[in-house]
Structure formats: structure tokens, C-alpha cells
């Protein structure tokens, strides 16, 4: 889609002007990032900008800083101490506003309490919390004392929680009795209790009282948050942290059944997101910034907590479902808090498109200045709807491409520098300092207009340091597909003008409503059910969620297909992975289409599930011949009928 289709002209920069800045940043990469690093306050300056021992990068080694200091203490030195840091809204209508001084107090109290519990520099603390202020507070409190947090999305099951806690060997879990979702209580503490049966490393559980329902508190292990902070100190000096000390570990899905623990540094990560959020969202003193993601995902880490708070913005945190109790809940929140920057996912936009523009029309959305999109490709129709009905044709849309691994935004329009002409559906250009390109199967630059693979050719400060306890897998996953390039796992196309068009995952990773799940991970959950012998999971295109889960399963001897069994299997996936993993369709089959070497021909299954012909072109992932695929397709069409 071309820029002519935009209804009005925004104030654009010529592409060349942006490219001049960009090229300089790539040519003088270290000098460029060093200048960006100077924008933060450090307790000690770095010895060098970068130690690059491919593929392991150490950014600003020797530099000392503290994330909690940068997000909180720094703002107490001026008038911002009385500025609202967090506007919180519970799903049930409760409200809380925390100024930067109040945030400081709470962060310090929790840091003091954690210290008293014996949490030390380098220890891991697991956070399993709903979207309440205590979640960012807990992240900042752990960072304050040099502990490493691992946030586990509160929509994950007890098994997923236990796996992640065990991998990090966390000493402490911070959770809540529950949270609200669609008017119902999600009983988080019960899920934690279940997980605790198999997490030997956990010594203490701190519980925030959110819903107030009756819960089990185990003497000596479980402590109420409000009690523990009552006797805590209100000042704990922020520990100077070496730049390469991990700030957090965040698990994400890959192509094997075992989730990957993405390790982010302190210095490089903070420098990177501090700059990116200024460029992309043009954060100003008066910005009221609302990112609708859950803090359980990387978007929440960078876009709710660390970047906006480092910039001293006021952030909005909303606990519940987007359309609860009515489809204008979000628009009501924007009007109420006078949100200026709004950042959400294409899935949400498509859902609201379905509800219709009469819902946003009921509200004054004139405070908005910039709109963002993240998590999956945005289709031009959704882009235009967002632009027109939410942004009132005034606000640029920043379609931001990035990943858990990249730490922050990599490809996006940058109104904070100079806005290039927008094309609905394209994330435009890489941001300064990001040497992104599209290559063909051999790693050579792809021809314009032809689909290839998105790669990053130089290290950047926000990049993951490694995979927790698995540096080999880090090398294999990201740095072995193409020599000396970071492989993103995404398809991409550059058009004649050099605009980047993101075209979805090239590997076996699914994006369900923007949430990342691995097919292998889902398959191992399906086969852990006693009735299932073998399974294949694929993603099927979906109008709103982008993709949905379809399961093909072979039953064990003695079981026969039934709706009852399908229901049970759905429940099993919800229980073992979480509600995000609920399949849309389940087919029982007697065999699965495989290549001679035993690889599942997913293309056949995808074509069957979406009712489309399998097509003629072989992709790289299918080692089967076109003929083989077609034969399997015809054969399978009969089986799944
Ligand atoms: O496929 C890309 C898609 O989301 C993947 C990363 O997922 P996750 O690590 O969960 O992080 C999501 C939020 C940062 C990418 O490999 N993706 C993310 N943003 C976009 C996107 N696809 C297209 N356009 C985007 N703007």
C-alpha cells in the first residue's frame, strides 16, 4: 500500500534526511552509542563502549548504574517528585495514583524487605502478579538491590510457572491473592501453591492483597506484602550495578519445547530503550503514556516500566480486560487520564474495529498525539481504522518491530527524530544504530520486493546477552543461520524505496493475539495427555487474533475420537500452558503427513486447516518436494473429513 492512500498529510521529513542521520549512526556505531549512554546518569563511567566477542557483546563494561535510581530517585531532585508516576485503574473501577515520591517510598520499602529476607545481589526473584502497581514496584525494588527479576505472565499455568521458577532457581516469589478479569477473580495464589509443590529453590512467598478472598498462607513461608513493608526502611541506597550485570531474565518461546530464558543486561539495555522511546514516542514532560500490554511480556518491561519511567513520564496501568464491562473501556480511560501516547497490538485494534467506531466516538480522544502498534504485523485496514477513528487523522502511527531478544524497538517510524512518510502496514526503517537488512537463503541482500529473512548485522546495546544457562543454544538459535548476523526468525521484504514490510515468522513460532508460543511447546503439552500418541500444532490465520491454534492429534490405542475428548484436550492445554494456549480447532487423525526424514509437513496441515490449496512453491522449511507435498495434501484431505 502506498502513502497516497493516507487521508491527510502529516508533517513528514524527506527520507534522505532521516537516512543521513541513520547512516552516520551505523558508520560511527560506537561513538554514536557512547553519546546516547551519556544521557543517563552513571555512578561510574564505562571503560570501553563495547567488548564484542562474537556473538557475545558486553556494552559499556566497567560502567556502574542502577535501574531503580534512574527510574525513580533521579526524579526526586526536581519538581517531578510530585508528578504522577503511575495512574492505576483496577478492572472494578478502583483507582490509585502514585507520585514519583510515593513510588520511591514503596520501592525502597520493598527493597528493604527483600534484603531482610536475605535476597542479595545476583539472586533471582520471580514475579507472578496481576497488572497492579506492585508489579513495577517489585521490578524496581529487585533492581535496586542488584537482584534479577523474572516476571512470569499471570496468564501462565502452574506448570509453566514452576518450570520458569526452577530454571532460574528463584529464592522468592512475589504474587497476589488474585486479580480481576472480566469481573471474575483469577486465583493466582492457588496457582502458585500448586507450582510450589515442585519448586525447591523457593524460600519465601510475598503475597499482595488485591482481591481479599480467602487464601492459604503457609506459616513460615508465605508473608503478606502489606505486613512485610510495614516494618521496612523507607530508604535503601541503590546498589551500583556493573553495566553487564543482568537486569532481568524473561522467558519466551522458541522452536523447541523448552522456553528460552532471555537475559538482558543493565547498562546496554537501559541506554538502548532510553533512546528508542524518545525517538519513537517523542516522550515529553507532559506525556501521559499508556501501553496496554501486560508487564509479563517484554513490551511491558520496556514500554510500561523502564523506558517511560526513566523519562519521568506519567504512565497508565490498567488491570483488566479491554472490553469490560463495555467495549469503550479503553476509550474511557484515554479520555479520563488524557492519554497522549497510546501503544497497543493489532489484535486489539481488529477487535475494536469489529465492535465499531461508535464506541470510540462517545469519547474525547483529542489528547492523543502518537499511536503505536506492536507484536504482529498490522494489516493496512486495521492501520487505517486506528489512524482515523482513534487518532482522528492527526496522530502518526508508529508500527514498531522488535522482539523479547532485542530488548527494545528496532524498526519503526521515529517522530522524535523526524517522521518519514508512512505506509500503512510497513514499519518503515530501522532506527539509528540498528543495522537491519533483508537477506535471501544464502545470506545475500534480498532483491527489493522479494521476501527474505530479517537479520541484524551489528550488535546493539539492547540485545540479549545470552540464554540463561545455555550459551550454546544462544549461538545456535540466533547466530548460526547466517554467518555473523543475528537471525530474527522473521520474514521481511524491502520495497523499492527501502521500506521494511514485516511478513510474519519464518519458523515454528506462533503469534496468537500477539502472544508468542512455540508449536513444539504446544505439541509436548498435547502429547502429555494420556489419550494422545502424537500431535502436530499449526497456526491458522484468524481475522482478529492474527493466528489461532489448530491441533492434529493421533489417539492412542483404546481411545476413540469424541467431542468430550476435544473438550478435555482444550482444558489440558489451558492447564499445562495457560489460557492463551486454548486451541480453536482439534482434529483427530490416524497419521500425520511427514517427509521421508520424519519432519512434519506443516504446510500441508496449514493448507488443510485454512481450506486453501497447498500451492506450488516450496519454502525453505519444507524439505519435501512439491509432488510429495501435494500427494500428502490429497491423502490428508480424505483423512480429516
Ligand atoms: O514476529 C515478530 C513479531 O513478534 C515477534 C517477537 O515476539 P515477542 O518476543 O513476543 O515480542 C513482541 C513484542 C516486542 C517478532 O519476531 N512482531 C513484533 N512486532 C511486530 C512483529 N511483527 C510485525 N510487525 C511488528 N511491528
Residue-wise pLDDT tens digits, 229-263: 999 999 999 999 999 999 999 999 887 778 899 99
Q: Residue 33 is placed in which grid cell?
A: 552509542
pLDDT of residue 115: 98
Mean pLDDT within 594-614: 80
pLDDT of residue 625: 58
When pLDDT is cut at 50, 70 and 90, the band that residue 118 belongs to is: very high
Taking only the tens place, the pLDDT of each residue in 327-345 is 999 999 999 999 999 999 9
Is the CATH number of domain 508-640 3.30.300.30? Answer: yes
Q: Is the CB of 490 under 6 A from ligand 1?
A: yes
Q: Is the pLDDT of residue 559 over 50?
A: yes
Cα radius of gyration rounded to whole Å, the chain: 24
Q: Is the pLDDT of residue 371 over 50?
A: yes
Q: Is the CB of 525 under 6 A from ligand 1?
A: no
Pocket test for ligand 1, best of 273, 376, 521 (most atoms within 8 A of CB): 376
| Contact predicate 177/208, CB 8 Å | yes
pLDDT of residue 618: 44
Q: Is the pLDDT of residue 597 over 80?
A: no
Mean pLDDT (the chain) is 94
For 16-81, the DSSP string reads: HHHHHHHHHHHHTHHHHHHHHHTTS--SB--S-SEEEETTEEEESTT-EE-HHHHHTGGGGGSGGG
Q: Is the CB of 343 under 6 A from ligand 1?
A: no
How far is ligand 1, taken at its centre, from the CA of residue 455, in Å? 14
Taking only the tens place, the pLDDT of each residue in 385-414 is 999 999 999 999 999 999 999 999 999 999
Q: Residue 347 is placed in which grid cell?
A: 489484535
Q: Is the CB of 462 under 6 A from ligand 1?
A: no
pLDDT of residue 590: 86
Give the number of the atom of ligand 1 that is nearest the alpha carbon of residue 373: 26
**Beta strand extents in 169-293 (DSSP E only):** 172-176, 179-181, 184-186, 204-208, 222-224, 241-242, 246-252, 260-265, 288-291
Q: Is the CB of 68 under 6 A from ligand 1?
A: no
Distance CA 382, CA 599 (A): 36
Task: Work out the percent of the chain whose per-residue pLDDT is above 90.
Answer: 88
Q: Is the pLDDT of residue 76 over 50?
A: yes
Q: How many CA atoms lie within 13 A of 629 on its CB side?
A: 23
How far is ligand 1, taken at its centre, from the CA of residue 24, in Å? 27
Pocket test for ligand 1, best of 260, 280, 403, 501 (most atoms within 8 A of CB): 403
Q: Is the CB of 154 under 6 A from ligand 1?
A: no
Q: Looking at ligand 1, which residue's alpha carbon is closest to its atom 2?
A: 376
Amino acid at each position: 500500500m502506498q502513502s497516497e492512500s493516507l487521508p491527510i498529510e502529516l508533517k513528514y521529513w524527506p527520507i534522505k534526511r532521516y537516512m543521513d542521520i541513520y547512516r552516520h549512526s551505523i558508520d560511527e556505531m560506537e561513538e554514536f552509542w557512547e553519546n546516547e549512554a551519556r544521557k543517563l546518569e552513571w555512578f561510574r563511567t564505562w571503560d570501553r563502549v563495547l567488548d564484542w566477542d562474537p556473538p557475545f557483546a558486553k556494552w559499556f563494561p566497567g560502567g556502574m548504574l542502577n535501574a531503580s535510581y534512574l527510574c525513580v530517585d533521579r526524579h526526586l531532585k526536581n519538581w517531578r517528585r510530585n508528578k504522577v508516576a503511575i495512574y492505576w485503574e483496577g478492572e472494578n473501577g478502583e483507582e490509585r495514583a502514585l507520585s514519583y515520591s510515593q513510588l520511591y517510598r514503596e520501592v525502597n520499602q520493598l527493597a528493604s524487605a527483600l534484603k531482610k529476607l536475605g535476597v542479595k545481589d545476583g539472586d533471582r526473584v520471580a514475579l507472578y502478579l496481576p497488572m497492579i502497581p506492585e508489579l513495577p514496584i517489585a521490578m524496581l525494588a529487585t533492581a535496586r538491590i542488584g537482584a534479577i527479576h523474572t516476571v512470569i505472565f499471570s496468564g501462565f499455568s502452574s506448570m509453566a510457572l514452576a518450570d520458569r521458577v526452577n530454571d532460574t532457581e528463584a529464592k522468592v516469589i512475589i504474587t497476589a491473592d488474585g486479580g480481576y478479569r472480566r469481573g471474575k477473580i483469577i486465583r493466582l495464589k492457588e496457582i502458585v501453591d500448586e507450582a510450589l509443590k515442585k519448586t525447591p529453590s523457593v524460600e519465601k512467598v510475598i503475597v499482595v492483597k488485591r482481591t481479599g478472598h480467602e487464601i492459604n498462607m503457609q506459616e513460615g513461608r508465605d508473608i503478606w506484602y502489606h505486613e512485610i513493608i510495614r516494618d521496612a526502611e523507607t530508604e535503601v541506597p541503590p546498589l551500583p550495578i556493573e553495566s553487564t550485570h543482568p537486569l532481568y531474565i524473561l522467558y519466551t518461546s522458541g522452536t523447541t519445547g523448552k522456553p528460552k530464558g532471555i537475559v538482558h543486561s543493565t547498562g546496554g539495555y537501559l541506554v538502548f530503550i532510553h533512546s528508542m522511546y524518545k525517538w519513537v514516542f517523542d516522550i515529553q514532560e507532559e506525556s501521559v503514556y499508556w501501553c496496554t500490554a501486560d508487564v509479563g511480556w517484554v513490551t511491558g518491561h520496556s514500554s510500561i516500566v523502564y523506558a517511560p519511567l526513566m523519562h519521568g513520564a506519567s504512565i497508565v496501568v490498567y488491570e483488566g480486560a479491554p472490553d469490560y464491562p463495555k467495549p469503550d473501556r479503553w476509550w474511557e480511560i484515554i479520555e479520563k487520564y488524557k492519554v497522549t501516547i497510546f501503544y497497543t497490538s493489532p489484535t486489539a485494534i481488529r477487535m475494536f474495529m469489529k465492535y465499531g467506531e461508535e464506541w470510540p466516538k462517545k469519547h474525547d480522544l483529542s489528547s492523543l498525539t502518537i499511536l503505536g502498534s506492536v507484536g504482529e504485523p498490522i494489516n493496512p485496514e486495521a492501520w487505517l481504522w486506528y489512524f482515523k477513528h482513534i487518532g482522528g487523522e492527526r496522530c502518526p502511527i508508529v508500527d514498531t518491530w522488535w522482539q523479547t531478544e532485542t530488548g527494545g524497538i528496532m524498526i519503526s517510524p521515529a517522530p522524535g527524530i523526524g517522521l518519514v512518510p508512512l505506509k500503512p502496514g510497513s514499519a518503515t526503517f530501522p532506527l539509528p544504530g540498528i543495522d537491519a537488512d533483508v537477506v535471501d537463503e544464502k545470506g545475500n541482500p534480498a532483491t527489493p520486493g522479494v521476501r527474505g529473512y530479517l537479520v541484524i548485522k551489528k550488535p546493539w546495546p539492547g540485545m540479549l546477552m545470552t540464554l540463561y544457562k545455555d550459551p550454546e543454544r544462544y549461538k545456535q538459535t540466533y547466530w548460526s543461520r547466517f554467518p555473523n548476523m543475528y537471525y530474527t526468525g522473521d520474514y521481511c521484504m524491502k520495497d523499492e524505496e527501502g521500506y521494511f514490510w514485516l511478513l510474519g515468522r519464518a519458523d515454528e513460532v506462533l503469534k496468537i493475539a500477539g502472544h508468542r508460543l512455540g508449536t513444539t511447546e504446544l505439541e509436548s503439552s498435547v502429547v502429555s495427555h494420556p489419550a494422545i500418541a502424537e500431535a502436530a500444532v499449526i497456526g491458522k490465520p484468524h481475522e482478529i487474533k492474527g493466528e489461532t491454534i489448530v491441533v492434529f492429534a493421533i489417539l492412542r490405542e483404546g481411545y476413540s475420537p469424541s467431542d468430550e475428548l476435544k473438550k478435555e484436550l482444550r482444558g489440558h492445554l489451558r492447564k499445562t500452558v495457560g489460557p492463551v494456549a486454548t486451541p480453536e480447532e482439534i482434529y483427530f487423525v490416524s497419521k500425520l503427513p511427514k517427509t521421508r526424514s520424519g519432519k512434519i509437513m506443516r504446510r500441508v496441515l496449514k493448507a488443510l486447516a485454512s481450506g486453501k490449496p497447498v500451492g506450488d512453491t516450496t519454502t525453505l522449511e519444507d524439505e519435501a518436494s512439491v509432488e510429495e507435498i501435494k500427494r500428502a495434501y490429497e491423502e490428508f484431505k480424505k483423512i480429516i473429513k
